[in-house]
Amino acid sequence: MIGGRVPAIVATEARHRLRAVGNSGGQAVALAIGGLFGVVFALGVAAGAFFAGELVADGSIADPLAPLGRTVGFAVLFPAALTAIRTAQGAAGPTCPDHVLLAARHREVVAGTLGVEWLVQSTMLGVAGLVAGVAFAAGAGSPASAVLVAVAVAALLSAGVAVGLAVGLGVRLAIARSRLLARFKTAVGVAVLLAYLAVAASGDQARVFAPAANALAATPVGWIADLALLAVAPGASVLRAGGALLAASGTVLAAGGAASWLADRLWYETPVDPHGTDTDTDTGRTGSGSGMQPVPGVARQTGFVARKALLRAVRSPIRLLYVVYPLFALAGPLSNALGGGSVPGAAVPGVALYLAWAAGAAFTLNPLGDETPVLPTTLVAPITGGRFVRGLWVAASGIGVPVALAAVAVIGVAVGLPPVDLVLVVALAAGLTALAPGLALGVGAAFPRTEPARVTRSRRAVVPSLFAFALYSLPLFVLSAPAVALSVGPGRATVASLAGVPAPLLGGAGVAGRRRLRIESGDRRPGVADGRK
């Protein structure tokens, strides 16, 4: 039996989240911008709903139940996915679990969490649904439709949020019980994110998610279309509408019960130690002895700083998640290039530039901030600033240069770069990756950041400041632009043309400048795409 503490939990948690957003200038601005887009989106939805209402009313759409029924599946799936992601990331749980779980039963906390998430989703999706309902009712000339659509939206949201909460708690419980999942949860999360971005960039979301949405639409929950159109669609059934409400209610109860069962097992048990072994007496062992050894060829103190930086990066890669952010922006162009069957040669020096940037951003862009946990003792230790920053540079270039060389060489060969271009691009990769960490060091030392920031919904870490990112990235891109441009044929041809010098002076640009690299249905063969193939 759910007690009377649920409203208090909902109110307190909602107040906490509102104040957290209000206290964070960045979040408030992001929310305001999101709200602005939300208004534009709602206006678009309202306009569409209005015209749909008119079409239904004048009989232009003979059977509106069928298309709306298919939409219902997505309308459940979307809030369910959002809630599942938020819950799995730890963003949907109680803020002070120990305190709340001492004061209330876990099922009350689950109900409270469900209520808060329902409010969150209602703010984002429910308002748009209500506006659409009113607009549809106006277009159809049926005031009752506004109420029916509102009830339908509320039912869809409730079912979706409840299912999402149960799924999210299930994911968390699996991670809490499986050492393997716990160990690789970050990698799995990033892989899922990249997979989604690839789907989004391809524009195939509807096709990819259609099977799940259609399956949902085929259940009694799909009858919610009857409920929404009861006042205007001749084929809408009162029985099915009632059945949809019962099905939605049943879904909420069943998913809520499952969430409660999962929460009981999640919140009151100690999660596995991801770095431990299967024996309780041997938890947290690295398994490979000490990773802290001197680095040959560099001063002892410098070597230890480099080892420390590498060990921390390998053991806590989530701290460096920001390094892959540029890849998200590149997902679309890359997907288009691959989808079109051709990869421009200019992309290869772009890879070299990105890897150089990443090496600097990961290891040297916040030299003092990265040391935050031990900064007092490091500052008191007799190590010079020069040796310390050289250690970070050794880590950045020690891992960055080989990775950049290998990646650029492999990609260059795969896309069929001419030998001259290949040599130049590999040299570019080595040079940039060796130099970029030095630039990052200068910027990072001048503009350190020691306060932790949120890197995922449930994880905070000390990351470089936005100002440092900008001050590092812009000069790096500007200063490296000439070398990047001259490293491949098309770039050299363009530069030669602009400078009015013979292309061969810049290294074989006359031929290579017209080459475009093509990958056709798995057959990687270079071709000429300017009409001479």
Partner 1 sequence: MRSPQAIEADGLTKRYGDATAVDGVDLSIPPGTVYGFLGPNGAGKTTTIRMLATLLRPTAGTARIAGQPVTDRAAVAPHVGYLPESPPLFDELTAREQLQYHAGLQDLPGDEAADRIERLLDRFDLAADADDRIGTYSKGMQQKTALVQALLHDPDVVLLDEPTSGLDPRAARTVRDLLAELAAGETTVFLSTHILPVVDELADVVGVLSDGRLVAEGDPDALKGRAEGGGTLEDVFLDVTGDADLAAARPEEP
Q: In the complex, which residues of this chain contact partner 1 (CB under 8 A)? A: 273, 275-276, 283-286, 289-292, 294, 300-301, 303-305, 307-308, 311-312, 315-316, 373-384
d(CA 269, CA 263): 10
Residue closer to partner 1 (CB basis): 4 or 287:
287
3-class DSSP state for residue 456?
strand
CB of residue 295 to partner 1, shortest distance in Å? 10
- Least distance between partner 1 and beta carbon 358 (Å): 20
DSSP string, 421-450: HHHHHHHHHHHHHHHHHHHHHHHHHHS---
Task: Give the residue with the Cβ less far from partner 1, 16 or 312.
Answer: 312
Question: Minimal distance in Å, beta carbon 502 to partner 1?
Answer: 55
CB of 283 to partner 1, least distance (A): 6
Whole-number Å distance between alpha carbons of 184 and 192? 12
Q: 97 Cβ partners below 8 Å, 6+ apart?
A: 109, 267
- Nearest approach, Cβ of 395 to partner 1 (angstroms)? 13
CA torsion sign, 298 to 300 to 303 to 305? negative
| CB of residue 393 to partner 1, shortest distance in Å | 16
Q: Residue 294 or residue 326: which is nearer to partner 1 going by CB?
A: 294
The conformation of residue 122, written as its DSSP 8-state character, comes to I
Instruction: In angstroms, give the least distance from the CB of 299 to partner 1.
Output: 9
Which one, 308 or 516, has the nearer CB to partner 1? 308
Residue 205 or 384: the one with the smaller Cβ distance to partner 1 is 384
Angle 189-194-196 (CA atoms, 0-180°, nearest 5)?
A: 95
Distances (CA, A) of 186 to 91, 267, 371: 16, 21, 23
Q: At its nearest, how many Å lie between partner 1 and the CB of residue 377?
A: 5
Rounded to the nearest 10 degrees, how much is the dihedral formed by the CA atoms of 219, 215, 186, 353? -140
Nearer to partner 1, 62 or 379 (CB): 379
Residue type, 456: T
Q: Which is nearer to partner 1, 284 or 475 (CB)?
A: 284
Nearer to partner 1, 20 or 314 (CB): 314
Nearest of 263, 317, 338 to residue 522 by alpha carbon:
338
Burial class (CB in 10 A: 0-12, 13-18, 19+), 237: middle
Instruction: Extract the tokens encoding 64.
Output: 């509106």
CA dihedral 363, 366, 370, 376 (to 10 degrees): 140
